[in-house]
Amino acid sequence: MIDIKLIREKNEIVKEALRKRGENQEILDEILEIDERRRKLLTQLNQLRAKRNDLSKLVAKLKAQKEEEKSREIIEKSKNVSNEIKILEETLRKLESELKAKLLYIPNIPDGSVPVGEDESKNVEVKKWGKPKEFDFEPKAHWDFADKNWLDFERAAKLSGSRFVILKNKIAKLERALINFMLDLHTKEHGYMEVMLPHLVKRDTITWTGQLPKFEEELYNTQPDDLFLIPTAEVPLVALHANEILNEADLPLKYVAYTPCYRREAGSYGKDIRGMIRQHQFDKIELVKFTKPEESFEELEKLLNDAEEVLKRLKLPYRVVNLCTGDLGFAAAKTYDIEVWLPSYNTYREISSCSNVTDFQARRGNIRYRRKDNKIEFVHTLNGSGLAVGRTLIAILENYQQKDGTVIVPEVLRPYMDGLEVLE
């Protein structure tokens, strides 16, 4: 959520931000109009409430002085004021919920360093690491390994429908190895605290992080309790400190969590049908930070480095792009995507997304911190995949494959695979 004062006082900035994102700007005028009515009403209401308070005090005084008649007179007056207040309060409640509802649909303001553009073609490559391997044979796509009894798409479909996969044998173990490798790296070397989280969360929780109310069709909802399966560990991690006031000395807080992620992929019917690039359920290691506002962009660079390090250790070629305004997520002020090289696509594909959300989620979830001078302020939140495990598995299969159909196990994973060097 953005600050209503920003809409009120710096309307042009917000309008420009929406335009760059390719979003409708009319909602701003609607918000301003409601806000104005609300403030007028509030002033009127506060005057009446002040009057009632005065009258009540007067009653107390008169009663103490045994001035029964006079007090009865004041009570009558006060009753009328109270009735008026009740009516205005009802109207105010309606206006405020209308306003809140609209504000929840406004995306975050992109940072100045974000390139302007309407879609992903305008994303800017900021760095590249490693070189795609030249194969002296026709490399297989990861789904072609299905005949090895590693990936089972057919039976997954039998159980759950399309966009599910079953990992078997050494591949199941490789998935687990990746999870442990990533968690170890981030906890032991990058200073994140490991957290095991609930995968079902309340409607409020997921509203704080911004997926609701706008993107409900992307989420799995469970009945009768109205709990949602998390689309990313970012949701419960960020919500950890909702409605809390943190200590400045404790910042930045850094968390890492492994969870499966559940997504309905409602808007992507034709996309990535083959293989396990786009699944309704996938494993992910997620990094989340809570920082002071003045440090958040610096921390974003560090977060990006922490995620990149996973690919460096796995020796997988990748590049980093700075997402343009049109490609930026709803809550993000700035996002770097890390894209790994996939021979089957002959291109780089997203494997991590690292964002500075600034105070957008902090405002929604009321996450604040107390400065040394006792002032209270919203924190900034950041999140990034470190990394998407399923896609990392794909990248290993495709980049480490050999002519005979076997796959080399990246060195850093061997300790997690009982020393296994080759998948056969």
Catalytic residue list: 263, 278, 350, 353, 391
Note whether 59 binds RNA by CB under 7 A.
Answer: yes
**What is the C-alpha separation between 35 and 90, in angstroms, rounded?**
16
Candidate residues 24, 43, 91, 97; the one interacting with RNA per rule CB under 7 A: 43
CB of 55 within 8 A of CB of 78? yes
Note whether 60 binds RNA by CB under 7 A.
Answer: yes
Query: How many residues are present in the chain?
Result: 424
CB of 385 within 8 A of CB of 285? yes
Residue 388 is which amino acid? Answer: A
**What is the C-alpha separation between 372 and 383, in angstroms, rounded?**
26
Candidate residues 203, 214, 370, 414; the one interacting with RNA per rule CB under 7 A: 370
Considering only the stretches 24-32, 123-131, 177-185, 368-376, report the one whose residues sit in contact with RNA under the rule CB under 7 A. 368-376
Candidate residues 22, 29, 47, 160; the one interacting with RNA per rule CB under 7 A: 47
CB closer to RNA, 24 vs 47: 47
**What is the C-alpha separation between 394 and 398, in angstroms, rounded?**
6
> Cβ 82 to RNA, closest distance in Å?
4
Note whether 141 binds RNA by CB under 7 A.
Answer: no
CB closer to RNA, 5 vs 188: 5
DSSP output for 38-106: HHHHHHHHHHHHHHHHHHHHHHHHHHHTT-HHHHHHHHHHHHHHHHHHHHHHHHHHHHHHHHHHHHTTP
Considering only the stretches 266-274, 351-359, 374-382, 384-392, report the one whose residues sit in contact with RNA under the rule CB under 7 A. 374-382
Candidate residues 2, 14, 55, 423; the one interacting with RNA per rule CB under 7 A: 55
Note whether 49 binds RNA by CB under 7 A.
Answer: yes
DSSP output for 309-359: HHHHHHT--EEEEE--TTT--SS-SEEEEEEEEETTTTEEEEEEEEEE-TT
Three-state DSSP at 244 gives strand
Note whether 11 binds RNA by CB under 7 A.
Answer: no
> Cβ 26 to RNA, closest distance in Å?
22
Note whether 223 binds RNA by CB under 7 A.
Answer: no
Candidate residues 376, 403, 411, 421; the one interacting with RNA per rule CB under 7 A: 376
Q: Count the residues of the shown chain that bind RNA, applying the rule CB under 7 A.
A: 33
Candidate residues 29, 65, 93, 193; the one interacting with RNA per rule CB under 7 A: 93
**What is the C-alpha separation between 323 and 20, in angstroms, rounded?**
12
Considering only the stretches 39-47, 161-169, 281-289, 379-387, report the one whose residues sit in contact with RNA under the rule CB under 7 A. 39-47
What b/e readout covers 176-212, taking b as 16+ CB neighbours within 10 angstroms?
ebbbebbbebbeeebebeebebeeebeeebbbbbbbb
Note whether 116 binds RNA by CB under 7 A.
Answer: no
> Cβ 51 to RNA, closest distance in Å?
8
Quick note: the x/- pattern for RNA over 62-91, rule CB under 7 A, is -x-----------x--xx--x---x-----
Residue 334 is which amino acid? Answer: K
Tokens at residue 176, please? 């687990």
Note whether 53 binds RNA by CB under 7 A.
Answer: yes
Note whether 97 binds RNA by CB under 7 A.
Answer: no
Footprint of RNA (CB under 7 A): 4-5, 39, 42-43, 45-47, 49-50, 52-57, 59-60, 63, 75, 78-79, 82, 86, 93, 245, 368, 370, 372-376
